[in-house]
Structure 1
Amino acid sequence: SRRDDQVFIEDLNSLNGTFLNATRLVPELPYPLTAGDQVQLGKLVVTIDLK
């Protein structure tokens, strides 16, 4: 999601969880994203590039 020029990620109670920089997210709590962050969804790891 996006609020006031800030981008957030939120785990919506997924079965395997969502990880931000190797830390498991607490479900339903938004976390701000910054350039260079790594998000892991299952086996997929994505590096965030905000422009």
Structure 2
Amino acid sequence: FLKNGVKEWEGSNKDIFITNNKAVTDFVYSSNLFKKVRKVYLMEAEGRTCD
């Protein structure tokens, strides 16, 4: 992921769900739908369910 011509982040399609890089999450998860998808993914990774 490049920001202002500088490599800000590098990782796989699975790593992108768990990154704490604000620039990446702001860009990739800019829509409410993708924010919810990420939230569910992280909850499932922690063994929690979304009820």
TM-score range for the pair, normalised by the shorter chain length: under 0.3
Larger RCO (CA under 8 A, 6+ residues apart): 1
TM-score (norm 1): 0.23
TM-score (norm 2): 0.23
